[in-house]
Structure 1
Amino acid sequence: MKWNLERKLIAGGLGAALLIMGTMSWISYQNAIQLIRSTERIKRTYSTLEHLADIQATLNEAESGRRGYLLFGTDFELERYNLAIAKLVKILNDLEQSLGNQVSQNARFQQLRSLIDQRQKLFQTSNTLFRLNPSDLSANHPLVIASRINREALREVFIALKAEEQSSLELWIARSGNNMQYRLAIESVGTLISFTIFLSVYLVLYHQLLKRQEAERMQQKLAQEKELSELKLEFLALVSHEFRTPLSVILGSAQLLKDSLSSQIERSRLRSLTRIESSAKAMKQMFADVLTIARADAGKLEYQPSWLELQSFCLNLVEDMQLSDQYQHVIKLIDLGDRTHGWLDEALIYSALSNLLSNAIKYAPVGSNIDFILDGKIDVITFQVKDEGMGISPEEQVTLFEPFTRGVNVKSIIGTGLGLALVKRCIDLHQGEITIDSEVGVGTTFTIQIPQSRLEK
């Protein structure tokens, strides 16, 4: 099945939408993983800071218990010191797990542990000395000085650990915020693009639906028009057949009376028989024209071309028209071409040219010249009918080939307005064209051009 442009656009739009949605899902998945990692890292950093705070508090608790023991010498203060030391060991283990694989922080942690172990030893040594001789622990004692140095070193390590963890916390919070903004932007843009694509696909489908509905309406309308045209053709054929019989009787009777009584009655009464005869002929021709136009509109007018000897055909046509005109006009046949035969439907071309010549006779002054020009070339045959009649205005030329259309300046000249409509349909069946060049009060020239795709026989 061959895909048209709209189907390609729909398939491409859906594919692009699916691709965008897949890309968005993958980016969202990666972003979600980053957010999870950032959240875990933030939690771990908060845990590290809490552990550092607990270590400081526990050290202070142990220091307070040691001092109480040194001052008061009670077992309660000693027990308080021992509990703080035990708690400190657990907190240090938890902190070591919380730091994970951070090299710099692990190095500081080892330094912190070493200082805390050193401080515990100082605490134990001072407790032992206090039991032996309480008065030896003066402010200048080396043990007291070492404890001060150890406390300062611990403070610096705590500051360094907290500073790095705080910096790491700020970094991961900022990174997490950036990831959230990036994800929001990607999802917003992707959603907008997907919505635009789906909207475009919807509009294309809706446009296709409208076109299909319009095509169905047109098809239904054409079917109705075809049915109506066939009914009209059947009606006109029936009417034409029903009228043709009485008209033939009237025409035959008028001709019989005219021939048999021509020497017995007055000329004025004979003219009445002539009018009856001409009116019957006109009505018969009108019914024939109406039926021919109806057949042409219904597509049932037969087109049967054959090789036609052009000059003989035109001479016979001129002779027939001269006889019907009773030689009141001079019809001159002018042969300009070299072609002798044409691929034409004799009946149709005769009907078209006879209508043009009949109009020229009808609307041209009595005794004027009518030029009938034949110009046969290899690729086209041209017929021209020129008269010196009343002419046709440019406004009326637009609708001249419509049925029952006549010029406003025809006055009382009898006519049905079917002749040129019949001419147009006969020429259309030959795939030719008819043009008009007319000027009011000067005359009219009809030009028929029929293409020839076959060589002369």
Structure 2
Amino acid sequence: MKRGSDLFAYVTVGVTILAFAVLLVFALIRLLDTEAEIRRSQGDNMLWSISQAQSAALLLDVAVSQKSSIPDSEVDIARRYDVLLSRLALLTEGPQARYMEELGMGASLARQDSAIRALETELHTLALGDATVALSIHELLETLSRDLGRAANRSMVKHWDATGARLDRQQAAIIQVIVSILGIIALGIFLSVMMLRTMAERQRIRMSLSRERESAELYRSFVGLVSHQFRTPLAVIDSSMQRILRSGDAMDQAEIQRRALQVRSEVRDLTRLIEATLEVIRLDTGQVAMKPRNCDIAALLERVKARQLTETPDRAIDIVIGDEVPPSFVSDPFLAEQVLTNLVSNAVKYSPETETVLIGVRAENRQICFSVQDQGIGIPAEEQDKLFGHFFRASTAQEVPGTGVGLSISAQLAELLGGRLDFVSTAGIGSTFTLRLPDEWPASRA
């Protein structure tokens, strides 16, 4: 199924890229056609040639009239005649002749061109008083001028028709280019979405693999924890009970009591380990419910201190509350107490018996900050990013009994309370853990 889905994705992307290329080539071709249409101006050139020929015919007609009727006229008939012949040559040769044929004036223009060329002798010998010759030349030039006027009109009409058709073609080409560009944009968006989906899928797969590796590592850590932390208390319990069974009545009451206290201590440790493991499971599955209410800060810290002194009555624990700290704030006191108890327990466990553990409270940036400071073994810098992981224990703490879940639970509970758990630690010097909680319970979390 997965392979078929991948094949479909590859085919879809390939077809999309091909369509993208086709539309792009089509748009380029239409742009080139449009540019070529703009450069087409044959009608303009022909209209100019016809008008020049008509003007030359009129000028020659005027010159002939002046020569035949005005004494001592100095008009240059030969030059006028040559100009007319050159203009007629433009219209009766090459592409211009074909254009005149398209206008329906080709045959008429050819006859008149021949008639004009036959006038060369008469024009050169024209003298004052040759009215009959001048009149025949006038009639021929007038007919030529009239035909050239009709040709000019037809050329103009044809030119405007061609211009209109060209504009229509250009408009159609522009619309096609716009549609092609829109298609290219749509295909680009589609490709982008496909690429983003593919990247998201790969990211999801990488995250799944990462979670699987983390789960495998967690499982190995848990197995190591069970094999070490569970087996040792059980071995102590079994050894104590076997000693009691073997000794029987020979064991005195004091020894039995000592053995019983040892068994109870190991059972208590096992119970704590099981509770910590269950707490991790409850947090991961979202089964821990918050019950916010008014929390007295001084009373909270006294309970944490008293609980720890019950376990270690000989340790020194000081409490310092800043003057700016309010008497109370809204939070879940049970969960907050659990976090602080874990922090204080670790501070006592991982610091020398002669050192004092300091619990401080301050208010800053609309937060109540509880700090627990010790002068203990600290945490190596290269291991600090793993500190809040399940069942992780620093290399400096391997000789101290523990489960490696207390800080992980504390960090998760801090997030449930709307805050966070920070720490600063230096190996061999000590650590300071800070629980930052909002001074007001957010309405969205109520």
TM-score tier (shorter): 0.5 to 0.7
Question: What CA RMSD, in Å, does the superposition of the two structures yield over aligned residues?
Answer: 5.4
> Is the contact made by 1:391 and 1:439 (CA closer than 8 Å) also made in structure 2?
yes
Aligned to 1:368: 355
> Is the contact made by 2:112 and 2:144 (CA closer than 8 Å) also made in structure 1?
no
Greater Rg by CA: 1
Q: Distance in 2 between matches of 1:366 and 1:190?
A: 86
Q: Distance in 1 between matches of 2:382 and 2:161?
A: 80
Q: Which of residues 189, 195, 198 in structure 1 aligns to 2:183?
A: 198
Aligned to 2:402: 415
Aligned to 1:264: 252
Q: CA deviation at 1:364?
A: 0.4
Q: CA deviation at 1:321?
A: 0.6
Give the secondary structure class of the aligned counterpart of 2:347. helix
Give the secondary structure class of the aligned counterpart of 1:153. helix
**1:288-367 alignment runs, 5 A limit:** 288-327=275-314, 329-337=315-323, 338-367=325-354
Give the secondary structure class of the aligned counterpart of 2:176. helix
**TM-score if structure 2 supplies the norm length?**
0.56
Q: Distance in 2 between matches of 1:277 and 1:324?
A: 14
Q: Distance in 2 between matches of 1:192 and 1:382?
A: 65
Aligned to 1:153: 138
C-alpha spacing 1:280/1:196, structure 2 compared with 1 (3 Å):
farther
Aligned to 1:380: 367
**TM-score if structure 1 supplies the norm length?**
0.55
Q: Distance in 2 between matches of 1:153 and 1:187?
A: 50
Q: CA deviation at 1:437?
A: 1.4
Give the secondary structure class of the aligned counterpart of 2:373. strand
Q: CA deviation at 1:438?
A: 1.3
Give the secondary structure class of the aligned counterpart of 1:193. helix
Q: How many residues align?
A: 325
Q: Which of residues 391, 406, 428 in structure 2 aligns to 1:441?
A: 428
> Is the contact made by 2:380 and 2:396 (CA closer than 8 Å) also made in structure 1?
no
C-alpha spacing 1:413/1:167, structure 2 compared with 1 (3 Å):
same
Q: Deviations over 1:115-158 (max 9, x none)?
A: xxxxxxxxxxxxxxxxxxxxxxxxxxxxxx88755532332123
Give the secondary structure class of the aligned counterpart of 2:290. coil
Aligned to 2:439: 452
Q: Distance in 1 between matches of 2:388 and 2:140?
A: 112
Q: Deviations over 1:377-410 (max 9, x none)?
A: 8943221111110111233222211112221222
Q: CA deviation at 1:185?
A: 5.1
> Is the contact made by 1:293 and 1:425 (CA closer than 8 Å) also made in structure 2?
no
C-alpha spacing 1:374/1:208, structure 2 compared with 1 (3 Å):
same
C-alpha spacing 1:57/1:403, structure 2 compared with 1 (3 Å):
same
Q: Distance in 2 between matches of 1:400 and 1:454?
A: 28
Residue segments in structure 2 that go unaligned for 5+ positions in a row: 1-29, 48-98, 116-129
> Is the contact made by 1:45 and 1:169 (CA closer than 8 Å) also made in structure 2?
no
C-alpha spacing 1:56/1:345, structure 2 compared with 1 (3 Å):
closer
C-alpha spacing 1:278/1:214, structure 2 compared with 1 (3 Å):
farther
> Is the contact made by 2:376 and 2:429 (CA closer than 8 Å) also made in structure 1?
yes
Residue segments in structure 1 that go unaligned for 5+ positions in a row: 1-23, 59-144
Aligned to 1:279: 266
Q: Distance in 2 between matches of 1:439 and 1:432?
A: 24
**1:38-53 alignment runs, 5 A limit:** 46-51=103-108
Q: Distance in 1 between matches of 2:132 and 2:365?
A: 127
Q: Deviations over 1:21-48 (max 9, x none)?
A: xxx9xxx9xx9xxx9x99xx97897224
> Is the contact made by 2:329 and 2:440 (CA closer than 8 Å) also made in structure 1?
no
What is the one-letter code of the residue matched to 1:331?
I
Q: Distance in 2 between matches of 1:55 and 1:341?
A: 117
C-alpha spacing 1:161/1:450, structure 2 compared with 1 (3 Å):
same
What is the one-letter code of the residue matched to 1:160?
S
Aligned to 2:415: 428
Aligned to 2:90: none
